[in-house]
Chain A
């Protein structure tokens, strides 16, 4: 019995030391990691906004896949485009997206942010060309939510990740109608 307690104690000691070491490592790296995360978001926002000025994120009236939005205004303060934070549903869990829309709902740019899907299938969504099938859609042309709605070339780029593609498409479509509603109100 004493033996078991001593053994358990040794294992507990190892765990304790490990937890302490990790705590120190966490304290050392946490600020830099947080900065790296916001820096990435800031860079994406700046690239999408171009010369316009970006408002702070608002969550007014958001629902469903739309999680928040930034209005981008020109010098006169008129909104020229909207950058939406969207959550599509992927193979499991959310696919966080950042998408820029013209005020009529046309998609200008899409990036997948911080996807935790396993490298392999879902990851292809981060590769170049993947999002091309969505650009320019949303206003006159509908957002593709089915592979049949894509051109042959765009189809090749998304093959092997149907659910990711459908998840992104549906989220983007919701985003487009959200943007059109915004345009109507303001």
Chain B
């Protein structure tokens, strides 16, 4: 699949939060404030691109030739842990200012479904090295987009009257559902014109 295809697929059609239903806990829980969404979105985009590449490399260079494919899950989880620590250290040394802004989100990312999810997806679907990075970036960006939209939506919801039992999380779920419906239009319209 071409790079454009990968980007369109991962950002819009198979949006990790809205369509593949990955990383929902922070999507529902963290999207409360725009600032938090921004921080988490940026960190997840960076980490999932790196994790996709690292997972693919480890799988094809080590696990597959050695016949150890059953260590897939354990090694990908370890990769995510190591990446997050490494990234934290590097950013802290290189730019303490940046670390102060984004550092707090790093531990949250270790166990995020998006990071492990993209690693599993690029390996199972047989992506190449460059394709993996693009897919990781696109998946992260799509997730970022969903988080941002949700934060903006919740901000406007605050001004509206919502029936009492629906306040808080329920209305967020329902808004997410409507957003997911809207994203389905990409599948029908955009891709029909692109590929049809």
- A19-B71, A166-B195 known; A91 and B188 CB under 8 Å? no
Task: Point out the residues of chain A lying under 8 angstroms from B64, CB to CB.
Answer: none
Is B191 interfacial (CB 8 A cutoff)? yes
Binds A, one of B43-51, B88-96, B121-129, B155-163: B121-129
Flag if B13 contacts A22 (CB, 8 Å).
Answer: no
Q: Number of contacts between A and B (CB, 8 Å)?
A: 62
Shortest distance in angstroms between A65's beta carbon and chain B's nearest beta carbon?
A: 14
Query: How far is A19 from B77 in the complex, measured between Cα atoms in Å?
Result: 13
Query: How far is A26 from B126 in the complex, measured between Cα atoms in Å?
Result: 22
Shortest distance in angstroms between A29's beta carbon and chain B's nearest beta carbon?
A: 9
Is A18 interfacial (CB 8 A cutoff)? yes
Produce 1/0 per residue, A135-176, CB < 8 A to B: 000000000001110000000000111110010000000000
Task: Point out the residues of chain A lying under 8 angstroms from B19, CB to CB.
Answer: 120-121
Shortest distance in angstroms between A139's beta carbon and chain B's nearest beta carbon?
A: 23
Q: A interface, how many residues as a size bin?
A: 20 to 34
Flag if A92 contacts B71 (CB, 8 Å).
Answer: no
Task: Point out the residues of chain B lying under 8 angstroms from A161, CB to CB.
Answer: 187
B-binding residues in A (CB < 8 A) = 15, 18-19, 22-23, 25-26, 89, 91-94, 116, 118, 120-121, 146-148, 159-163, 166
In the A-B complex, the 7 residue pairs with the closest CB atoms: A93-B125, A92-B125, A26-B70, A116-B124, A146-B196, A118-B20, A162-B187
